[in-house]
A and B are shown apart, each in its own frame.
Chain A
Amino acid sequence: MSMILSASVIRVRDGLPLSASTDYEQSTGMQECRKYFKMLSRKLAQLPDRCTLKTGHYNINFISSLGVSYMMLCTENYPNVLAFSFLDELQKEFITTYNMMKTNTAVRPYCFIEFDNFIQRTKQRYNNPRSLSTKINLSDMQTEIKLRPPYQISMCELGSANGVTSAFSVDCKGAGKISSAHQRLEPATLSGIVGFILSLLCGALNLIRGFHAIESLL
């Protein structure tokens, strides 16, 4: 069975969740995938504006525009075209409902949780192909995706990126954790070593000088 399972709206700048769907279907596999939402949301800024992540039985697709990213989780056999057209619809509605100012100044997570109502409705429509096919024109989306296919994020990229990118990513909560601290260490460069030795030397010299100064005072 192919269907859209979950959707979420995230601010690109800092990964702040703005809205999300309330999920009525529950399975452990899906719970797993929701974790990728969080992972992805941390580094949206580094990713292209249309991406797909394949995680076993589920796919995650997302688009970003105007500082807001729209993410959805669907089963792996759900058509790409429909998925992106779903995201397109979310985007259009979100932009018209909430202005940029609001989304940029939001502090609280899930400020726009009431957008869930729209997500639910749209999700239902897309999960019911009979009612859907007549209402939207898929050919435009089809050509667009053919011309500019979504960037495929690989799992390893997701994993290793955790360490490397967090050093210059905007606000990575996980970076405070000790585990990731190790990953961020890079081997000392030559200039670093030289500089360190020099500073040691200077320090020692200063120290000696200090002693001499004291002695001369006494």
Chain B
Amino acid sequence: MQVPSGYGLHHQNYIAPSGHYSQGPGKMTSLPLDTQCGDYYSALYTVPTQNVTPNTVNQQPGAQQLYSRGPPAPHIVGSTLGSFQGAASSASHLHTSASQPYSSFVNHYNSPAMYSASSSVASQGFPSTCGHYAMSTVSNAAYPSVSYPSLPAGDTYGQMFTSQNAPTVRPVKDNSFSGQNTAISHPSPLPPLPSQQHHQQQSLSGYSTLTWSSPGLPSTQDNLIRNHTGSLAVANNNPTITVADSLSCPVMQNVQPPKSSPVVSTVLSGSSGSSSTRTPPTANHPVEPVTSVTQPSELLQQKGVDSSSTTSSASPMPNSYDALEGGSYPDMLSSSASSPAPDPAPEPDPASAPAPASAPAPVVPQPSKMAKPFGYGYPTLQPGYQNATAPLISGVQPSNPVYSGFQQYPQQYPGVNQLSSSIGGLSLQSSPQPESLRPVNLTQERNILPMTPVWAPVPNLNADLKKLNCSPDSFRCTLTNIPQTQALLNKAKLPLGLLLHPFRDLTQLPVITSNTIVRCRSCRTYINPFVSFIDQRRWKCNLCYRVNDVPEEFMYNPLTRSYGEPHKRPEVQNSTVEFIASSDYMLRPPQPAVYLFVLDVSHNAVEAGYLTILCQSLLENLDKLPGDSRTRIGFMTFDSTIHFYNLQEGLSQPQMLIVSDIDDVFLPTPDSLLVNLYESKELIKDLLNALPNMFTNTRETHSALGPALQAAFKLMSPTGGRVSVFQTQLPSLGAGLLQSREDPNQRSSTKVVQHLGPATDFYKKLALDCSGQQTAVDLFLLSSQYSDLASLACMSKYSAGCIYYYPSFHYTHNPSQAEKLQKDLKRYLTRKIGFEAVMRIRCTKGLSMHTFHGNFFVRSTDLLSLANINPDAGFAVQLSIEESLTDTSLVCFQTALLYTSSKGERRIRVHTLCLPVVSSLADVYAGVDVQAAICLLANMAVDRSVSSSLSDARDALVNAVVDSLSAYGSTVSNLQHSALMAPSSLKLFPLYVLALLKQKAFRTGTSTRLDDRVYAMCQIKSQPLVHLMKMIHPNLYRIDRLTDEGAVHVNDRIVPQPPLQKLSAEKLTREGAFLMDCGSVFYIWVGKGCDNNFIEDVLGYTNFASIPQKMTHLPELDTLSSERARSFITWLRDSRPLSPILHIVKDESPAKAEFFQHLIEDRTEAAFSYYEFLLHVQQQICK
């Protein structure tokens, strides 16, 4: 007899093994619940809804009324729960309850009718216990809807991973985590102290604690955490698992009949991983896997835009100017505006600068922050700044073994008594600090740069989460400890944002094929390692805290071939996974790979000779182009007219079709210009062989790039794909023609740098049209004179393309550029590619994203439209904290990249990053990822330069350092203001900012061509962090004395690991040879007095004098030192996608200026040295 008679159609599905359900209470009684019975059950028998307010948690003991907390509006039920709930909200529905487990516990509860609040979920019929429905209907009149769950948000973090929770069955989440955080940030060797802190903190935050009642326990946990022992998780595992098991009274939502077809689920691990097929035992379980995706939101967005985006010319990028200045550093504007500058000029005018700059001593405080432009004419410093008298202030206790490495400093500096007093002051505030918080006196620390490469800081999570967290190569946050409130973030004066490299080439990637991709029903988050499983049947979203059902299919783990362990699924074990998407994620059949090459063949282009290299490269890599048998390819050339090539299969030779009407471009034949690569391969090869010589005698100097792009758009719009544009000069004809805007005399000006923005919106509009048709435009600019990259770059920026720039390219006169083009093309043509992609970044409720950086089009607030995605593209996002994060201790970020692979598979790559939330400023500083912060600042500064001015951007960069260091100084209250202090985590911050100021993109005073500058800016916006950091701060190694000490073995090769040198001429000795790794270029500087053995063994010349001026290769010599040098360089090269070119620079050769401009710690005629910069910063702070 079925209860919900309205559901006659489905009744046969509800015959459930009732034993399965009733075993829940049976097991529960065996749990060690002594005092908390009541609230434990309340946690179990409630309905998953959203908006769990953890504050209610502590009111629970005995609070029965929680079950009947205000009935929510029916539409909430309908929208958040499944179809069954949708039906439940209709008036005719009768509510029933699966409350039969309570029957055995009636004595615990005075009014059983109260439980009916959970009725609408578990209305499946239990034929044997139908008597219980009576009582539930009684109360249905009063409580027509679902009750709020009383389970705390995200508490499985506690259950699963933290040891604090062992004594309680259901942890009070906030308590456990605030405890954990304090434990980590103040690891103390003295047990009583931290426990006091815990109590303080808990009482402050108003939680009545259950967990922390005994003072001994927290301290032991402290020790555990501080020592990072692996036993953390072990301590609590058993109780939690029992909890999970006992929570087996499932709340069922879905009334779908069981599938008649076998659910096939396959997981491939890596490329050749094991796959398995199976049929889940559906018979025992009446619930069919919830079809989690009906209309993915990405898809909806896509639909909405297909029709409208083509005409959109609004700026897709929010202006980050405000964010840089107004958002994160609110008092910067005011200070600059109201500064009582003696100089009347409100703008930082360099002409008026020398007056304050001639101040006699660097320690004299400047009256105004803004009056003096940064980076100009600063007084010289005392060379030996070791003997400065400011005492070293540090929180280091000499007796503390952890910091024994720093004991040398007290000997060096006399102020030991001051030191001890400051320690006393510090320990009041926070007991001994972790390494990242150790204060560093920047002006005293001479070797600020570590000897080894700087690694990303590891988020301060427990060992389990650490292991699961996303690789910093793909996903990094500027603050690995997220501040709890925006106010705290503002106090810290640090940028908050994410750095992404989502489509990175990975060696190992779990690929998951399953019918249902498990996602949160309300925020669409993909299931990830940081969700919590409330029981075997439900999981709680870690971004919006909604409780979701675990679909039936998810219960089976194809990797281990075991059933009932949803937390062991690969999705939950890996923070980077790739799903094979179902057809719900497709608007159309997956597109084939389509490549179109648009080539400049004007006189200028033929003269530069790039066609030979391109055609050669294409011929070599034609078979390696990513794609399947449907791959299509096409070619267009243009000068003042546009030439198409008919390559239709069956022709005897390629047919050239010339369209001279560039005002109204049309396609001469629509269907034979883009041809199947395999069917027309011979014709394509013929064309590629003929192309380099076809235009040798051309006299045409004009370039109709705009019309050619319009034609390319027409050609590509039915399918989408990739357009590669090769351009060698300013476009001079038709739509989109450009004029030269650069004044060569202004190249080294320190005044306003103009024309960083586009001259016309033609290219941007075209890019947006292309983006709407899933076409990306990649630009290769090979020009010897100014080509207005600022305007041309728009075609790639907004269509998610990429930009390559080869200044003064010539195939014979500039062989190193030619070689670079060749190598770049090889990578470009053969690297992975994703088509018709969209990327969405989600973050925990309370955080919001406001500005995106990279090449894409922002289609809606958080959806990035990427016509193409390539493995070398990086992105950055700025974050703000909208709501206080006090009720959570972890925040998560998830990037989902939906793309069509070149083989026509629709895939979703998901990265999830989990970070702790902290409430104290010291913890925020402890978790700064200085490299990520610098990269984000660089992105913000580029936006700022374009929207405002370069000098504004430079000031903002300096102020970023000033503000963060002064904010830090004010937290460490008793420090002398004469010392410039920074936490150890931030000690490289001033150095990197100085490096940015001397970077091509932002430098002033040094001659910089406008295109070079714009290209550097483009790279900052689109490069992933690892490559960007090398651009900003190159690595310098001494390579004439490589040894095998500390060498690593890579593929049977021994790669020596020389220590990093700081970027100063001070480190260069004439007797040595140095390698500088600038990301896209390597320099080997050979000193005049370099050992002849090195020159002979490595460079292959007899002495210094015989080394040629232009040398770009190391010869393969059969000597040990040559082998070492080459293996080191090869190792460096292998780590990046675009093979850098090598320049061997002799001391005293004219090329050495190129090398020396990268020595950013040194003073140049136009810019500070590092020490001067520090003094400047210190002065600004003191004001």
Contacts and interface: CB of A to CB of B under 8 A. Distances in A.
B892 interface: no
B82 A176 contact: yes
Contacts of B9: 167, 184, 186
B619 to A, nearest CB: 23
B536 to A, nearest CB: 21
Nearest to A187: B6
Residue with the greatest number of chain B CB neighbours at <10 A, chosen from A8, A17, A21: A17
Contacts of A17: 583, 589
B106 to A, nearest CB: 6
Contact of B83 (A109, A175, A195, A198): A175
Contacts of B86: 178, 181-182
A204 B113 CA distance: 11
A117 interface: yes
Interface string A12-54: 0110110111111110000000100000000000000000000
B83 A176 contact: yes
Contact of A170 (B94, B260, B290, B629): B260
A117 B649 CA distance: 13
Given A22-B719, A108-B580, A199 B630 contact: no
B908 to A, nearest CB: 12
B303 to A, nearest CB: 10
Nearest to B581: A109
B875 interface: no
Contacts of A13: 261
A149 interface: no
Contacts of A200: 133-134, 137
A200 B9 CA distance: 21
A204 B134 contact: yes
B5 A116 contact: no
A26 B306 CA distance: 12
Dominant secondary structure of chain A at its interface with chain B:
helix
Contact of A205 (B131, B515, B580, B670): B131
Contacts of B254: 176
Given A184-B9, A196-B3, A202 B134 contact: yes
B588 interface: yes
Contacts of B5: 188-189, 192-193, 195-196
B132 interface: yes
Interface stretch (A85-93, A138-146, A206-214): A206-214
B94 A196 contact: yes
A182 to B, nearest CB: 7
B134 A113 contact: no
B78 A24 contact: no
A201 interface: yes
A203 interface: yes
B264 interface: yes
A176 B676 CA distance: 41
Given A16-B583, A22-B719, A110-B583, A206 B83 contact: no
B137 A198 contact: no
Given A114-B904, A176-B291, A198-B1, A203 B133 contact: yes
Interface residues of A, number: 57
B554 to A, nearest CB: 15
A180 B255 CA distance: 13
Given A199-B130, A202-B130, A26 B905 contact: no
Given A26-B718, A178-B86, A188-B6, A199 B676 contact: no
Contacts, number: 168
Contacts of B256: 175-176
Contacts of A177: 83, 294-295
A105 B134 contact: no
Interface in B1151-1177: none
A14 B515 CA distance: 11
Nearest to A218: B107
A188 B294 CA distance: 28
B90 to A, nearest CB: 7
A195 B782 CA distance: 82
A190 to B, nearest CB: 9
Contacts of A205: 131, 134
A25 B717 CA distance: 10
A22 B589 contact: yes
A185 interface: yes
Contacts of B107: 214
B430 to A, nearest CB: 52
Contacts of A185: 6-7, 87, 90, 92
Dominant secondary structure of chain B at its interface with chain A:
loop
A188 B135 contact: no
Contacts of B132: 203, 206-207
A25 B90 CA distance: 45
A186 to B, nearest CB: 6
Contacts of B82: 176
A124 to B, nearest CB: 8
A174 interface: yes
B920 to A, nearest CB: 45
B266 interface: yes
B79 interface: yes
Interface in B268-297: 277, 290-291, 293-295
A188 B92 CA distance: 10
B435 interface: no
Interface string B129-149: 011111111000000000000
Contact of A174 (B103, B294, B581): B294
A133 B535 CA distance: 66
B266 A107 contact: yes
A170 B260 CA distance: 7
Contacts of A176: 82-83, 254, 256, 290-291, 294
B629 A117 contact: yes
Nearest to A38: B583
Contacts of B905: 108, 110
Interface in B75-126: 78-79, 82-84, 86-87, 90, 92, 94, 103, 106-107, 112
B87 A181 contact: yes
Given A107-B513, A108-B580, A203 B130 contact: yes
B38 interface: no
Contact of A109 (B135, B582, B718): B582
A188 B584 contact: no
Given A13-B261, A105-B277, A170-B259, A113 B6 contact: no
A58 to B, nearest CB: 16
A173 B584 contact: yes
Nearest to A13: B261
B906 interface: yes
A210 B583 contact: no
Contacts of A196: 3, 5, 94
B4 to A, nearest CB: 8
A119 B100 CA distance: 59
Nearest to B903: A113
Contacts of B130: 199, 202-203
7 nearest A-B pairs in the assembled complex, by CB-CB distance: A203-B134, A192-B5, A206-B131, A178-B86, A20-B589, A109-B583, A204-B134
Given A109-B581, A170-B259, 14 more contacts: A22-B592, A108-B513, A109-B583, A117-B629, A117-B630, A176-B290, A176-B291, A181-B84, A186-B6, A199-B3, A200-B133, A203-B130, A204-B135, A214-B106
16 contacts: A14-B261, A22-B719, A24-B670, A25-B718, A107-B264, A113-B630, A171-B261, A173-B584, A174-B294, A175-B83, A181-B86, A185-B90, A200-B134, A203-B134, A204-B134, A207-B131
Interface of A: 8, 13-14, 16-17, 19-26, 34, 105, 107-110, 113-114, 116-117, 167-168, 170-171, 173-178, 180-182, 184-186, 188-189, 192-193, 195-196, 198-207, 210, 214
Interface of B: 1-3, 5-10, 78-79, 82-84, 86-87, 90, 92, 94, 103, 106-107, 112, 130-137, 254, 256-257, 259-261, 264-266, 277, 290-291, 293-295, 513, 515, 580-584, 586, 588-592, 628-630, 670-671, 676, 717-719, 904-906
